[in-house]
Chains A and B, each alone.
Chain A
Amino acid sequence: MRIAFTTKGKDWDSQMDPRFGRTDYIFLYDDESEETLIEDNTAIQNAAHGAGPQTAKKLFDLSPDILITGNGPGGNAAEVLKKSELKIYIGAGNMTVKEAYSAFKEGRLDAN
C-alpha cells in the first residue's frame, strides 16, 4: 500500500502541511517495500489560482492508494482526485508525519 502525506518537510519528523493545494511537499511511503519518495511541491507557491487541481494532478501521477492531509481538498481539487482511486484521510494537520502514520494505522483519522 502506498500512502501520500502533505508535509512541510522531507522526513518522518517533519510537520504535516494541513493545506492540500499549497502543501510544500508530498511525502510518499510504500509500506510493503518500506521505500519513501519526496515530491517537491514548493513551486506551487507561484500559482495565483488553481493550486488545488495542480497538486491533485501530481497526486494522480504518483497514484498512491491513500492520501493523508489536514483540512482536505477544496472543490476543484476534489473533482480531480475523483479520477484517481485513492482514499482520503483528514485531520492530521497538526501532527508530524510519523504521528500521522500511526494515527492512520490505529484508525484515528477521519475518512473524507
Chain B
Amino acid sequence: MKIAIASGKGGTGKTTLSTNLADLCAERKDFPGIILADMDVEEPNSGLFIQREVQKEIIRNKMIPQWDKDLCSNCGVCDSICRFNSLLKLGKTILVMPELCHSCYACSELCPENALPMQMQKMGRQTIFNTDSFIFIESRLDVGQEQAVPLIAQSIEYIDSKYPKDFLVLLDSPPGSSCPVIEAAKNSDFVILVTEPTPFGLHDLKMAVNTMREIKKDFAVVINRFGIGNDAVIRYCSDEKIDIIAKLPDKREIAELYSKGKLVHRDVPEFGKELKKVAKYLKRLSDRRNNQ
C-alpha cells in the first residue's frame, strides 16, 4: 500500500511525520516491510533524520536532443517548434538547454535531417539505503533541473517493480499543489495531508484539498503543532467530512529535536501517542483494502 504524505504549504511537518511514522511502523510490524521514499526531489530532507547505509545508487536520466552538427542543414525547424525555449538556433549552432527541455521529442522527430537524436542525460539519482528497521529511498534532482515530475514517476515505478505489494510505502511528497505533488499523489492509494491549525495552514489545506478532489484521490488530515492557532481547521474538516487522523502536539522540545536532526516519537510521549493513531489508521486502511 502506498501512502503519499503531502501538504499545501512547506514547513508544516511533512518530513517530521514521514520519518517518525516510518520508524514507528517498522517497530510495530503491522506490515511485512516498510519503505520511506523521499519524493521532495528538489529538497530531499528526510535523510537528515535517518541513520543509514547506502545499498544501491541508480542514476536517473531523461531524454534530451543531442545536436549532430554534421547532419544539420541549419533549417531552424527545431527552434520554431520548441515551445519551452529550451532549444535555440544561434547562427549556425543549435544550443540545447537540457534543464528547460520537457522531453516531448518534437524537435527530434520532426528534424528533416535526423540531426537531433534523443539521448539520455542525467537529471538526478535515486539512492536505496538500508537502515536498522526499514528501507529508505531518496530521489534527488540535480541542481538547475526544472522538471521534477519525470524523476518522481521513475522513482515510483522502480518501487512498484521491486517490492511486494503488501509493503507499506510512505512517499514524503513535494510541497505545494502543483504537478510534482500530483504525480506522487496519483500514484498512491491514499494521501495524508499535513497541516497546522492556523489561518495559513487552513488556507493552504483548502488548496491541497481542492487538488485532491480534482484528481479524485482519497485523503485524510494530520494536524501538526496542535495547540497553536485556533479550531478553524477542525471545523473545516468536520464541515467537509474529512477525517482527522491525529493531532501531533506543539512543543518547543520537538522543534529542538528537529533542529538537531533527531526523531521525536520515542523521546516525546505525547507525540508518540498521537503518531500511533496514524500507524493504526494505516493498518485499518490496509485491512479494509485487503478484504475488498
Contacts and interface: CB of A to CB of B under 8 A. Distances in A.
A contacts B directly (C-beta below 8 A): yes
Interface of A: 47, 49-51, 53-54, 56-57, 60, 75-76, 79-80, 83-84
Among A60, A76, A79, A84, the one with the most B-chain Cβ atoms within 10 Å of its Cβ is: A76
Contact of B97 (A47, A51, A53, A84): A53
A54 B146 CA distance: 17
Interface string B156-199: 00000000000000000000000000000000000000000000
A54 B99 CA distance: 14
Interface of B: 84-86, 88-91, 93, 95, 97, 99-100, 144, 146
Contacts of A49: 84-85, 100, 146
Contacts of A76: 97, 99-100
A76 B100 CA distance: 9
Given A56-B88, A57-B90, A76-B97, 9 more contacts: A49-B85, A49-B100, A60-B91, A75-B144, A76-B100, A80-B90, A80-B97, A83-B90, A83-B95
B148 to A, nearest CB: 14
Contacts of A75: 144
B284 to A, nearest CB: 43
B100 A53 contact: yes
